[in-house]
Amino acid sequence: MLSLIYLTGSVTFIVGLKMLSNPATARRGNAVAAAGMTLAILGTIFLYEHNGRHLRNYGWITAGLLIGGVIGFLSAKRVKMTAMPEMVSLFNGMGGACAALISVVEFNHMIRAFSGGVEIDHLQLLIVFAGLIIGAVSFAGSVIAWGKLNGNIKDITFGGQHIFNISLLAVMLILSVYVIAAQPPFTGILFALILLLSLVYGVFFVLPIGGADMPVVISLLNSFTGVAAACGGFLYNNPVMLTGGILVGSAGSILTILMCKAMNRSLKNVLIGSFGGTHGGG
């Protein structure tokens, strides 16, 4: 039954996206996707089973859904029309943070299981790390993009920023590979360090990019979050998370490129263009 619900959910996402790309049906497409999402959430709450056990902590889940739902609904209803892109960015960041938190909890589970004598599945650990890093980068980047759009954060560039960013990314990846390959006793600390570095990277990734290019960056971060959500899909063998996430990941990437084209820029130009020229970086 739950598989059927997930299948329906995946189909509504595809149909919804398709309808969203046509002016005549866009609004209905949004409603279709929303309906599919509601179905998938309700199905998960009431029907999900793992090793024959239903979910627990219904009180917490309901409270979380209520709090998030009310805040989300009200802030989305009240936001001014001109402030909508920054709102989208903020919501995108929430999704990224959600994906990162899932990874944190799953990592915690794995470490607990490991100290109880269960072998760690390296590939699963890889997915946990991918979800953590992508989610955290997306969260930090989106919050910065949000701050930039409402004018609270200025463009900041400094010499060698490009090299700084790349080395930051390299350190993160090397650390992750190290933690995944070996199982050192300091895993927890390293894990926290990687989380921290991912957040820092997200900040520095978006900081130098000009305000006018923000929609492109938000779209890019949007597809990042999609991939982070898909990592969750792999983790729980959950088809609707996987299709939804990957669909947004690929559609988001194409959309990013289309948006660049509409502005007569290339993606490379948007992302690293700010390092040369007037700002005198790099």
> Whole-number minimum distance, CB 203 to other proteins, in Å?
18
Residue 50: φ, ψ to 5° = -130, 125
128 makes contact with other proteins (CB under 8 A): no
Helix (H) or strand (E) holding 278: none
Using an 8 Å Cβ cutoff, are 61 and 111 in contact? no
Smallest distance from the beta carbon of 254 to other proteins, in angstroms?
5
Q: Which residue type occupies 261?
A: K
How many whole angstroms separate alpha carbon 129 and alpha carbon 177?
9
Smallest gap from residue 16 Cβ to other proteins (A): 7
Q: How far is the CB of 201 from other proteins (least distance, A)?
A: 20
Could you tell me the two tokens for 170? 């390299």
Q: What is the DSSP string of 84-149?
A: HHHHHHHHHHHHHHHHHHHHHHHHHHHHHHHHTTPPP-HHHHHHHHHHHHHHHHHHHHHHHHHHHH
According to the binding rule CB under 8 A, does residue 87 interact with other proteins? Answer: yes
| 161/253 with CB nearer other proteins | 253
Site for other proteins in 40-79 (CB under 8 A): 40-41, 44-45, 48, 50, 54-58, 60-61, 63-65, 67-69, 71-73, 75-77, 79
Give yes or no for residue 188 binding other proteins (CB under 8 A). no
Query: Is residue 244 within the footprint of other proteins (CB under 8 A)?
Result: yes
Q: Using CB under 8 A, which residues numbered 189 to 228 contact other proteins?
A: 215, 218-219, 222-223, 225-226, 228
